[in-house]
Structure 1
Amino acid sequence: MTASPTTVVFDIGNVLVSWDPRHLYRRFFADRETEMEWFLANICTPAWNVEQDRGRSFKDAVDLLVKEHPAQWHPMIRAYDELWHETISGPIEGTVAILDALRHNNVPIYAITNWNQDKFREALERFPFLKSFAGIVVSGDERMLKPDREIFDLFFERYKVIPETAVFIDDSLRNVEGARAAGMHAVHFTSPEALTRDLRALGFSV
Structure 2
Amino acid sequence: MGEAEATRFLAEYDFMAFNHGLDSGTPWVEAAAELARTHPEWAEHAAAYREHFPTSLTGEVPGTVAIVRELSEAGVPMWGLTNWSAELYPHAPERFDFLGLLDDVVVSGAEGVAKPDPAIYAIVVARAGLPAADLVFVDDKEANVVGAIEAGLDGVLFTGADDLRRQLRDRGLPV
Instruction: Report percent identity of matched pairs.
Output: 36
Matched residue, 2:63:
94
Matched residue, 2:125:
156
TM-score scaled to structure 2, two decimals?
Answer: 0.90
C-alpha change, 1:44 and 1:82, in structure 2 (3 Å) is farther
Of 79, 82, 103, which aligns to 1:110? 79
Q: Higher relative contact order by CA 8 Å / sep ≥ 6: 1 or 2?
A: 1
Kindly indicate whether the alpha-carbon contact (under 8 Å) linking 2:6 and 2:45 is maintained by their aligned counterparts in 1.
no
Kindly indicate whether the alpha-carbon contact (under 8 Å) linking 1:62 and 1:81 is maintained by their aligned counterparts in 2.
no
User: In the alignment, does 2:29 pair up with 1:59?
Assistant: yes
Q: Distance in 1 between matches of 2:109 and 2:25?
A: 4
Instruction: Looking at secondary structure, tell me which structure has more strand per residue.
Output: 1
Kindly indicate whether the alpha-carbon contact (under 8 Å) linking 2:93 and 2:100 is maintained by their aligned counterparts in 1.
yes
For the aligned residues, what is the CA RMSD?
A: 1.8
Matched residue, 2:167:
198
Of 133, 143, 153, which aligns to 1:174? 143
For structure 1, list consecutive stretches of 5 or more residues without a partner in the other structure.
1-26
Q: Distance in 1 between matches of 2:35 and 2:80?
A: 31
Q: How many residues align?
A: 175
Q: Distance in 2 between matches of 1:74 and 1:164?
A: 43
Kindly indicate whether the alpha-carbon contact (under 8 Å) linking 1:66 and 1:77 is maintained by their aligned counterparts in 2.
no
- The C-alpha deviation readout for 1:93-112, integer Å capped at 9, x for no partner, is 41011000000111111111
Of 97, 106, 115, which aligns to 1:146? 115
Of 38, 43, 50, which aligns to 2:20? 50
Matched residue, 2:46:
77
TM-score scaled to structure 1, two decimals?
Answer: 0.78
How far 1:88 sits from its partner (Å)? 2.3
User: In the alignment, does 2:6 pair up with 1:39?
Assistant: no
- The C-alpha deviation readout for 1:31-67, integer Å capped at 9, x for no partner, is x4xx644421322610011010011122322232233
